[in-house]
A and B are shown apart, each in its own frame.
Chain A
Amino acid sequence: MGRVTLSNVTKRYGDVTAVEEMNLDIQDGEFVTFVGPSGCGKSTTLETIAGLTTPTSGTITIAGREVTNLPPKDRGIAMVFQNIALFPHMDVYDNVSFGLRLRDYPKEEIDRRVERAADIVQLEGMLERMPDEMSGGQRQRVAIARAIVREPEVFLMDEPLANLDAKLRVHMRTELQRLHKELDTTIIYVTHDQAEAMTMSDRIAVIDGGHLQQIAPPLTCYNEPANLFVAGFIGSPSMNFVEAEVTASGLLTRDFDVEFDPTQLSEIAEGDAVTLGVRPEDVYLREDRETVANPTQPIPARTDVLEPMGDEIFVYLLTGDGDAQMEIDAEAEAPQNQLLMSVDPASDVAADTDVEVVLDRERIHLFDTESGEALSHGLEFATVEPGRTGTEAEGDD
């Protein structure tokens, strides 16, 4: 069965460590996506599984067999490449049957399997064509047919949709999911696109700097990110982060307070520097606070820019006095006091007006600023009676 295990896999190129101490256990039939920014080590990890690269240390097992030093052809894998990599001097039939012919399958068996693969990826009647006579999507389907025809234990896909145009990419995304349902084979998929990862996978492995940050089902990565990197990477637009300090009565940020009882969280103590994270859809206008079971005190802010998307409007808010607070720092991409809010398109919100917003306490994430580790998902457990500190919150800019 197609279970893939990586234990302590490390890959170094000279002084550069591409992958460090990677431990993964991928179940048979699972669709796992490696996601991360470019150069994070996700492709290198896939190449070590494929056997195109030998890890510096660590072991890899596929289907219960240790394959760390086996050549790619003996690993029971098939791979779809980003640049598609069809053999340009062979027609579709020869491309798809290449692996079977190498393994000396009988002619009838090859024909039967090629027919079936062509049927699955809807390439009937194109077996005689040369790759340069086909469109990008058709070529990608040939590459997938070439992978499925050998009935491997594991499919490896290295950004297979990256070179396709946006519309075709979305279409192929559903086709790949359908294929996974049909074949029920382990698929390891590499992408830098978090939307692809979210939509297709059973589990997402978020990788950054050669380290595995979190491996969990997509919604867990979204709702309970393990650290600041995962929180910022998964979800589009990404989560709002606000620097904060733990006080005796909750959190103190530059422009507002969030009341809670810090003793309820064992990891933090008064005076700790923490980062508050909240997704745009968990920020509400004050007039909508009834829809939130557990809102924070109203936070004064000024709307800056609106981005109507049709189904929602993204509102860029500047908390505090409404001036953009830019740190003197080249890395800062946005004002420090910027808060992104997603509101219903029916809301009558206008640019450059003063508003008050609330955060959904159950959806506030707390991270240790130093290590980036998540401390808590949700601050609903220590609600302080409203009214007692409301004026303080509003008075603070």
Chain B
Amino acid sequence: MATETPVDDEVDRGPFERWVRRVIRNPERAYRAMFYTAMIVFLFTTLFPFYWLLVLALTPFNRLANVGLFPNGFNPEAFVRIFEILPFHIYMLNSFILAAMTTVFVLVIASLAGYVFGRLQFPGRGPLMLAVLAISYFPPAAFLLPLFRLFNGNVTIGLFGASISSPNLFNTPWAMVLPFSALFMPLSIFILTTFYGQIPDGLEDAARIEGTTRLGALFRVIVPLSAPGVATAGVLTFIMVYNEFFFSFLMNDGQIPEMLYESGKLLYLSNENHWAPLLKGILGFQGQYTQLYNLMAAASIVGVLPVAVLVVVAQEKIVSGLTQGALKE
């Protein structure tokens, strides 16, 4: 028996077998190897499209055919051209404003819902929360036709003999903010419910004794103390709206206001209240006869930047907010 063990060590079966033997003795090595493999695959699949966008953006338009792993030439001018051909910054601003409006809307309403679900006991609380959750599972496409007709003034409600037409919201921010809010509200409600539920009753009682209403206690005491949760819900909503495709694509005609000024005087204005978002800006480089792929690529990169900055800045808060909610529930 004593003579058998050294045999195993002496037989040299090559580098892979030696590695396997070490791994069997020390399983930590296997986990580390698996971690690095998974990380590299993940990083590659995530970052390669960005690299590919950069390659496309830097390649001059006339050399776009047969692009390899490296750009065919170097044309950073594309990042300037996107703002010259179209007012791309307006599209970005529109997306930013839509996301901000939705975030405010969602935070205010989800705070009220979170307060009720998190701090009050009432019959039907469970089923109601389930219903809210169910809404977030619906495919947005299911809402498209009714909402499209509603927002185009095609729905008429008869009321006491008078008939009321739905307002014409197509192209306006509301045609996008309302569906966005409805779709992204449930997640925020769940995050805020968890956070608000953890604030001790005594603090709310103290605020009410000191002179606030229940609502006042919510916004003056409960919300500030739940800052990580509110930040998480806000940032997630902002990013989801900014990244949204479906309603951003279908609820506007891709136009933004056109204005002509001469010596400070407005001469011409059309398309007022047209609020096409970032998405339509990127697709705007796709004409009837030409597809300016290099500009679309450049626009995509520029469009990602605000969210990338936001994530880097708020990353810590988001992670702590999500895990805190997850652990305490």
Contact = CB atoms under 8 A, between A and B. Distances in A.
B is bound to A: yes
Interface of A: 50-52, 71-73, 77-79, 81-89, 98-99, 102-103, 146, 150, 156
Given A78-B209, A79-B209, A103-B211, A85 B202 contact: yes
Q: Is the interface of A mostly helix, strand, loop or mixed?
A: loop
Contact of B210 (A52, A83, A84, A102): A102
A99 B205 CA distance: 13
Given A79-B205, A89-B225, A98-B210, 15 more contacts: A51-B208, A72-B205, A73-B212, A77-B209, A78-B209, A82-B202, A83-B202, A84-B202, A85-B206, A86-B206, A87-B225, A98-B207, A99-B210, A102-B210, A150-B211
Contacts of B212: 73, 102
A87 B203 contact: yes
A290 B209 CA distance: 58
Contacts of A78: 209-210
A73 B211 contact: yes
Interface centre among B206, B208, B221 (most CB of A within 10 A): B206
Interface in B99-122: none
Contacts of A156: 209
Interface in B43-60: none
Nearest to B221: A87
B27 to A, nearest CB: 44
B153 interface: no
A176 B159 CA distance: 64
Nearest to A99: B210
Interface residues of B, number: 16
Contacts of B224: 89
Interface of B: 200, 202-203, 205-213, 216, 221, 224-225
B210 A73 contact: yes
Contacts of A85: 200, 202-203, 205-206
Contacts of B221: 87, 89
A89 B227 CA distance: 10
A180 B203 CA distance: 25
Contacts of A82: 202
A81 B210 contact: no
A79 B202 CA distance: 11
A156 B203 CA distance: 15
A103 B213 CA distance: 12
B209 A73 contact: yes
A295 B213 CA distance: 62
A99 B225 contact: no
Contacts of A71: 208, 213
27 contacts: A50-B209, A52-B205, A52-B209, A71-B213, A72-B209, A73-B208, A73-B209, A73-B210, A73-B211, A73-B213, A77-B209, A81-B206, A84-B202, A85-B202, A85-B203, A87-B203, A87-B206, A87-B225, A88-B225, A89-B224, A98-B207, A99-B211, A102-B211, A102-B212, A146-B210, A150-B210, A150-B211
A86 B209 CA distance: 12
A52 B207 CA distance: 11
Interface centre among A82, A98, A150 (most CB of B within 10 A): A98
B242 to A, nearest CB: 29
A79 B213 contact: no
B190 to A, nearest CB: 23
B61 to A, nearest CB: 55
A72 B200 contact: no
Contacts of A51: 208-209
A98 B203 CA distance: 13
Contacts of B205: 50, 52, 72, 79, 81, 85
Contacts of A86: 206
A51 B208 CA distance: 9
Nearest to A83: B202
B211 A79 contact: no
A161 to B, nearest CB: 15
Contacts of B207: 87, 98
